[in-house]
Structure 1
Amino acid sequence: MNSSTAQGQLAVVATPIGNLADLSERAKQTLADADVILAEDTRNTKQLLQLAGVHYQKLVSLHEHNEVERAKQVASWLDAGQNLALVSDAGTPLISDPGYAVVNLLREAGYDLVAVPGPCALIAALSISGLPTDRFTFEGFLPAKSGARKKRLQEIASNTGTSVMYESTHRIEDMLADIGETMPGRQVVIARELTKKFETVLTGTGETLVDQLKADPMQKKGEFVVMVAGNPEGGAGQLSEQQVIAALSELPTKQAAKIMAQLFGGNKREWYAKLDS
């Protein structure tokens, strides 16, 4: 235990996303020195520490279901002069992983926080994607249900910078199909199993990537980073007919036909027939 009466420090520590060699020496030392390690899943972190040869003092859970309650306990440990480390199962904590509630509370209360940077799937994927990196938006995981996911993709479609998302093996094919429907022809890059033996990066469109995954089911295994090129037309004012039709799908056909005629010209009856088919 840290015998100092001074207030302790919380270190937010990045851990490997696949390759154990990516655990930095600074990260190892920080974890070894910590009085308490806060882990998303203590079983996964225990295995990592054992493989890395890191001897630790105390390991406790901090995940999405307990982090609000755990935050006060974390503050009390820091008040007692203990030094803490926060890790997720893989990558940088808080990036689609638990930890925000604790970090936010401690930052607002004036506690000392320090970053021990390292692996992050979204940055790793972007760096080898070939897509523009001067401006990008991270969307995390999109909704699991197709309707809600398409609605979010319609909003993303107007982004002029690269959009980055995470997806699981169970939904990757459906997600790509939805991208193909909402952003037809848009360049998409998917990266899976980053830093691991079977790391793969595929480039195409939502439509063509679905075909590639169907042709080779092995390409559907693993965790995915999905990156979509920005809208080359400069935003929502340049949405395609298909994108607007999808966005208006919740409206009565008569009302949607009127809007389409106003935006793209033509006869309301013709649009009604097209939308009703």
Structure 2
Amino acid sequence: MMYFISTPIGNLEDITLRALRILKEVDFIVCENTLHSKKLLNHYGIKKKKLISCNEYNEKRRIPYIIERLREGKKIAFITNAGSPIISDPGYPLIRRLIEENLPFTFIPGPSAVIAAVVLSGFPPFFVFEGFLPRKGRKRKERLLAIKEEKRTVVVFESPKRVLKTLKDMADIGMGEREVAIVREITKIHEEVIRGRIKELLDMEEPRGEVTLVIKGRDDGVEEGSETAD
């Protein structure tokens, strides 16, 4: 059996009893980063457990090994550095292969930066998750224009160093009046929510730590500007 397990997104106390039990019971644990995961495992006394890395650089090479071990009857856990596997993290190619091979797997739910950010934003709870935006080019512009037209709340992961650029890019396509919440360091001691209209936040200091952007959906009752010329 393969267990995809959600892990804390900042506060080590945010892990379920079920997740801890399974991490103790499995034959080995597949980790996005073994050194990072050891901190969590050591904190809960899960030591001397075999760990193997599986990330964007080696996932395709690791999959045959994992499949072979599952066919031998091994119990395997899959965890990423924070939050749920697959959601802007490794794991998707493995799940597709498990389905193709008709091998059983399950998900152990837990903390979610996406859900937490939506709650903290105070925006309507009907939302779409965009993950990380392309850094540049036509695909980035297309995604931003799609966000502009979206009537539901939109959640975006962003590097703190690119937050202000993303806000400026949104303002440049006529989203300056749109409400946004910059949610940073979720569940950590310096957790903070910065709310305002996009145009009001363009001169703010660059935020620190892990950032999730929550953009309120398009309101047809609010007039927005058109895209500016390139």
2:77 is equivalent to residue 85 of structure 1: yes
Ranked by relative contact order (alpha carbons within 8 Å, sequence separation 6 or more), the top structure is 2
Q: CA deviation at 1:91?
A: 0.6
State how far apart, in whole Å, the 2-side matches of 1:50 and 1:209 are: 41
**Corresponding residue of 1:57:** 49
The answer as to 2:165 corresponding to 1:174 is yes
1:208 corresponding residue in structure 2: 200
Q: Are 1:46 and 2:38 matched, yes or no?
A: yes
Task: Give the match for residue 181 of structure 2.
Answer: 189
- How much has 1:57 moved relative to structure 2? 2.3
Instruction: Identify the residue that residue 104 of structure 2 maps to in structure 1.
Output: 112
Q: Bigger CA drift: 136-145 or 76-85?
A: 136-145
Partner of 1:70: 62
Indicate whether 1:140 and 2:140 are aligned.
Answer: no
Unmatched runs of 5 consecutive residues or more in structure 2: none
SS at match of 1:166: strand
The residue aligned with 2:210 is: 223
- One-letter code aligned to 1:179: M
Aligned partner letter, 1:228: I
Please identify which structure carries the higher helix content. 1
Shift, 1:150, TM fit: 3.4
> 2:219: which partner in 1?
232
The one of 92, 104, 122 aligned to 1:100: 92
CA apart distance, 1:129 = 1.2
Contact 1:32 1:56 (8 Å CA) reproduced: no
Q: Secondary structure at the match of 2:196?
A: strand
For the pair shown, the structure with the greater C-alpha radius of gyration is 1
Q: 1:28 aligns with which of 20, 24, 27?
A: 20
CA contact (8 A) 1:37 1:86 kept: yes
TM-score, normalised to structure 1's length? 0.78
Alignment of 1:6-25 (within 5 A): 9-25=1-17
The Cα shift of 1:44 comes to 0.1
Is it true that 1:152 corresponds to 2:139 in the alignment?
Answer: no
